[in-house]
Amino acid sequence: MSTSPRRPRLAHIEYKWVALSNTTLGGLMAAINATSLIIALPAIFRGINLDPLDPANFSLLLWVLMGYLLVTAVVVVTLGRVGDMFGRVRMYNLGFVVFTAASIGLSATWSTGAAGAVEIIVMRMVQAVGGALLMANSAAILTDAFPSHQRGLALGVNQIAFQAGSFLGLILGGVLAAVNWRWVFLLNVPVGVVGTIWAYLALRELGERHPAHIDWAGNATFAAGLGLLLIGVTYGIAPYGTSPMGWGNPFVIGSIVAGLVLLAAFIAIERRVTAPMFNIELFRIRAFSAGNLAGLLSAVGLGGLQFLLIMWLQGIWLPLHGYSFEDTPLWAGIYMLPLTLGFVVAGPVSGWLSDRYGARPFATGGMLLAALSFVLLMALPANFSYPAFAVVILLNGVAFGMFAAPNTAAIMNSVPPGYRGAASGMRATFQNTGMPLSIGVFFTLMIGGLSANVPGTMYRGLTANHVSAGVATSLSHLPAVGYLFAAFLGYNPLGTLLGPKVLGALPPADASRLVSTAYFPSLIAGPFHDGVVVVSIFSIVIFLVAATASWLRGGRYVHDELEAQQLEAGLLAAEATARHRAEAGVQASLPIDPAPESEG
């Protein structure tokens, strides 16, 4: 008799580490997939015989890069809500299956050219559904499994895996792409198989389910609205007519306006339905709303940084220091190690400390340090000294390690247990919406800087090597986005753009110089750095606003078990009342405490 009460507690203690290790494996797999694809894009495009600088292929390149992010952002909140209804573990396990199956499909891409790119895009979108199932429910599973005083540590460890996977993806993507581009996708399969079997055998439901009708109107307007908004942003960075970008394209303008209108309609719908997909009333909790705003802003400020650093290293710095374009993907991953190291060190420490002292000082301090890191990044020259660069990106990694786990733990601690799946999905939606928005803003600012400076630099560089004025003028006025993606993919496009006829008519020394590894990077280094300055100023402003939002979250606020049970009963009663009032056309709201209070 005396030992029986201890067994459930022992089982619970053991289970929380099982949940942490499995969700950590899921995060590791998703992160490896994301960055290995980015670093291996040159090999993938060569493997399917697609020229990334051909204007007809530009939209395909955009969708390979952005399709996964768009789908994840659109569906993740819905899948979090579905997890609340039908079981978070069940939806999480399904995510492993879908992600793994899509990885197998990607490795088996059978077509070449544009058809091969379309197959990759479609399978990446399927894979994004699996990733969204994992992402929407993993934080809720951890929040169910861990007591409030350990959630920051658990979520910090979980997010360390994501950052470690980002670094491993850069290394493995560079190594495997040199062997065969299909291995970049096959890499996910053994991890996915192990994770799937382990999840089905070991994970169990601890959270409470909330059976409810699916909010079809809310789902439709949200998916269509956010999808149109992000599609408009994506095509905004594509050339249109004689303009280097597409912000004047009627399709872009129409997509963004229609998306905003549908999102406004979505909010109106969610305030009236009895079982909303996106629980607007949760935003009455100050810790929840401020944490999500800070998370969105941090994603907007940071999301494009990885692309920026890869362009800088692969397209400029490494070639200027004698690395061949074939080797730059591997070395770009290695030279970005301090970024991951900073996050890996700061993540669990700040998560553990935030369990004791609350999220506000760590999340706010992280955003302020992020702003400082971009001030220092802006001060670096294009051909920087690596130790200085390493210190700057180390500080950036520390900054986001300080922010990520405390902010996530504070958001998840602030909501009632029965709404953790929805809250996790909403948090992930803000995070994933910020990423494509950030990439759109980063690319727009970079293209703007390059468009202003590349033509003159390119013309002078080509004519100095005896290229005719007519050819130099033509090449210098090509869309700057082509040169930006050449830097991103890490190769010199001048050999293709000039062609054998022009190169054959030049003095051999000039022709050799133009197609050399270092020449094109030396041409665009100055204009590229001008773009870095503009992007950094934007990010600094965003991080300062995020720091303000983070500070306004209030003191440490946790729904303890007793409070949760009381609140849960109130929520269910309010939902029943709302159902009756909705039939009469009267709007009701849920009784959620709007402001956090400090705990002792």
Encoded tokens for 440: 């759109």
Q: In terms of domains, do 280 and 412 share one?
A: yes
CA distances from 389 to 324, 365, 498 (A): 21, 21, 34
- 267 located within any domain: no
**What is the spatial distance between Cα 77 and Cα 75, in angstroms, rounded to a whole number?**
6
What confidence category does residue 585 fall into, taking pLDDT thresholds of 50, 70 and 90? low
Looking at residue 283, what DSSP letter applies?
G
Structure tokens at 159: 């997010």
What is the pTM for the complete model shown? Answer: 0.75
pLDDT digits (tens, 9 = 90+) for 477-502: 777 777 777 766 666 778 778 888 88
355 and 459 within one domain = no
Domain-embedded: residue 596: no
- Average pLDDT score, the chain: 79
User: Would 356 be classed as within a structural domain?
Assistant: yes
Q: What is the pLDDT, as a whole number, of residue 154? A: 77
How many other CB atoms sit within 10 Å of the CB of residue 459?
18
561 CB-near residues (< 8 Å, 6+ apart): none
Number of domains in the chain: 2
pLDDT in the model for residue 163: 66
Same domain (yes/no): 416, 427? yes
For residues 403 and 366, give the distance between their C-alpha atoms in angstroms, rounded to a whole number: 5
* pLDDT reading at 561 higher than 50: no
* pLDDT in the model for residue 55: 65
Tell me how far apart the alpha carbons of residues 298 and 292 are, in angstroms, rounded to a whole number.
10
* Spatial distance between the Cα atoms of 230 and 429, rounded to a whole number of angstroms: 13
Residues 430 and 504 both lie in one domain? no
What CATH number has the domain bearing residue 530? 1.20.1250.20
pLDDT at 267: 86
Same domain (yes/no): 458, 378: no
Res 567 pLDDT > 80 = no
- Per the structure block, which two tokens stand in for 508? 């051999």
Same domain, yes or no, for 533 and 472?
no
What pLDDT is attached to residue 592? 46
pLDDT, position 123:
93
pLDDT given at position 347? 78
Verify that 309 and 424 share a domain, yes or no.
yes
The answer, yes or no, to whether residue 448 has pLDDT greater than 60, is yes
Q: What's the pLDDT score for residue 589?
A: 44
pLDDT at 469 over 60: yes
Neighbouring-strand partners of residue 240: 243
pLDDT over 80 (residue 96):
yes
The tokens describing 164, both together, are 């470690």
Rg (CA), the chain: 25
Same domain, 341 and 464: no
- The whole-number pLDDT of residue 559 equals 55
- Give the residue-averaged pLDDT of 577-594: 51
- 315, 437: one domain: yes
Residue 600 lies in a domain: no
Mean pLDDT over 174-193 rounds to 83
477 close to 462: Cβ distance less than 8 angstroms: no
- 499 located within any domain: yes
- The whole-number pLDDT of residue 369 equals 95
Residue 399 lies in a domain: yes
**What does the pLDDT look like over 236-287, one tens digit per residue?**
877 777 777 788 889 999 999 999 999 899 888 888 877 777 777 788 888 8
Whether the per-residue pLDDT at 596 is higher than 60: the answer is no
Nearest to 271 by CA among 580, 590, 591, 576: 590
- Tens-digit pLDDT profile for residues 304-342: 787 788 888 888 899 899 888 777 777 887 888 898 888
Kindly state whether residues 46 and 174 are assigned to the same domain: yes
Give me the domain span that covers residue 492: 452-524
Q: Is residue 377's pLDDT more than 70?
A: yes
Residue identified by tokens 């770009």 is: 332
Same domain, 122 and 14: yes
DSSP symbol at 312: I
Of 509, 524, 539, which residue constitutes the final position of a domain?
A: 524
In a domain, 543, yes or no: yes
Q: 359 near 507, Cβ under 8 Å?
A: no
Residues 435 and 471 in one domain: no
